[in-house]
Amino acid sequence: MPIDPELSRYSDLSFGSSITVYLLALAFLLVEFASLRAASTTQRRVRELAAVGAGSSRGADSGISGGPGRVVEAPKRGLGERFGRMGVALIVLGLGLNITSLVLRGLSAHRAPWGNMYEFMSLMCAFAVLCWLVVLRKQAVRPLSVFVLVPVILLMFLAGTVLYARSAPVVPALRSYWLVIHVSVISTSTGVMLVSGVASLMFLLRRRQPEGAEHNSTLGRFAQRLPSAASLDRVAYRTAIFGFPLFTAGVILGAIWAEAAWGRFWGWDPKETTAFIAWVLYAAYLHARATAGWRNTRAAWINVLGLVAMMFNLFFINVVVSGLHSYAGLN
């Protein structure tokens, strides 16, 4: 069937609009992030006064805490928090536009909309943002949104410029139902692991700055605005637990497709080799994180290395190194 140029144009427009909305969301979240230190200081002071007042008559008279029936008044929602909530709403809108661009691309080309690097990157970023929105419903870690959005925006910008490809049929080798199954699973796991890697990276930074300590350096003040190290570690671990089985399934499905297409399950192609290295790193991270003695920076560094291997496989192996996967630019 012929390509529908009108749907393709609307797909590109939706893709560009999603980047614009993500950038606006990032600006709103940066406003909240910049205001976090003052807010956290105020909240900590309220907690300290509440603790003192709980055991003294002075606290009971202060109206902060104390005697029976007295409650601590929560600080009013500040401007920064309102910007943060609007930023999350914009993330939802940006995700909707991102998904719309993929749907329109698929309808225009009459195939699954992940047949080249541009489409794969768009799909991966959509899954990363969706994963992050799920995390936000479970964990109070909204300040981390800034650091999840930054790589998403950069990846989408690269996809829309350097890696952009016009809507067109895929090469004959990719006209298989395995394209729908294998690539969708791999893109999902990659998006989830992106969130996990960012959380581990911020955990490493936050762990260097003890909770409640005063810091005069720029890095120290920056780290104080991040969620607690325990919260960041929990986000990294739980998302990796979800993403690793998907990544494992994606590698296995790719091997099955390779046997059907090339007559062998595994041939140590550069992309297969790098994917295996990433798999080993993530398996090592989960094993290390589940071991009591490794619940610290060493396990987090392994997770970060896994993300580096994943991005190396996504860019360098696809673009620079030639192999059996070169024609597609996909896992």
| Structure tokens given for 205 | 């930074």
- Encoding tokens for residue 289? 């994180």
Q: How confident is the model at residue 77 (pLDDT cuts 50, 70, 90)?
A: low
Convert the pLDDT of each residue in 131-145 to its tens digit: 999 999 988 899 999
Give the position of tokens 């003192």: 52
R_g over Cα of the chain:
23
> pLDDT at residue 59 above 60?
no
Crossing angle of the two packed helices 5-34 and 145-160, in degrees rounded to 10: 150
Residue 79, classified by CB atoms within 10 Å of its CB into exposed (0-12), middle (13-18) or buried (19+), is: exposed
Mean pLDDT over 252-270 rounds to 81
Which residues, 6+ apart, have CB-to-CB distance to 103 below 8 Å? 11, 113
Among the residue ranges 50-64, 77-91, 158-172, 175-189, the one predicted with the least confidence is 50-64
How many residues does the structure list for the chain? Answer: 331
- By three-state DSSP, how is residue 223 classified? helix
| Extents of the domains making up the chain | 5-319
Give the model's pLDDT for residue 149: 96
148, amino acid identity: V
